[in-house]
């Protein structure tokens, strides 16, 4: 089974959003082809920047990448203020079981 990494979680975030990836790219001001390379977990030449990640989470209203990173670092997230339309991290993310 493929182990999740942050890039794969971001890719899933975009693919599961119900928003066309081209529309997400346009909303965050990034060329579609560049975005697709940056969220491809098998493309080791392209890197997803922190600002782009934040923009993706804002557009998709999906906090799974943030939850994944917190889990990987041994932290938990607490929602300080629940914004309308945002899925709470615990509602949207299940950490993959270790093999």
Please report the DSSP string for 55-99 in residue order: HHHHHHT--HHHHHHHHHTT-----SS--TTPPPHHHH--PPPP-
Which residues does 78 contact at the CB level (< 8 Å), separation at least 6? none
**pLDDT confidence band for 83 (50 / 70 / 90):** low
Flag whether pLDDT at 40 surpasses 90: yes
Listed by start position, the domains of the chain span: 6-92
Query: Span 27-35, mean pLDDT?
Result: 97
Q: How many CB atoms lie within 10 A of CB 70?
A: 16
Average pLDDT, integer, range 14-35: 96
Q: What is the pLDDT of residues 43-81, one digit of tens each?
A: 989 999 999 999 999 999 999 999 999 999 999 888 776
pLDDT of 86 reads: 61
Q: Give the CB-side neighbour count of residue 52, counting CA atoms within 13 A.
A: 21
Give this prediction's pTM.
Answer: 0.78
Residue 77, pLDDT score? 83
Grouping H, G, I as helix, E, B as strand and the rest as coil, residue 5 is: coil
């Amino acid at each position: 089974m493929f182990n999740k990494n942050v890039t794969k979680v971001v890719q899933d975030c975009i693919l599961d959003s119900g928003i066309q990836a081209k529309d997400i790219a346009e909303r965050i001001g990034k060329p579609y082809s560049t975005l697709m390379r940056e969220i491809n977990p098998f493309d080791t030449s392209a890197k997803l920047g922190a600002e782009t990640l934040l923009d993706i989470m804002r557009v998709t209203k999906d906090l799974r990448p943030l939850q994944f990173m917190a889990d990987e670092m041994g932290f938990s997230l607490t929602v300080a203020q629940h914004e309308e339309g945002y899925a709470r991290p615990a509602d949207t993310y299940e950490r993959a079981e270790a093999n």
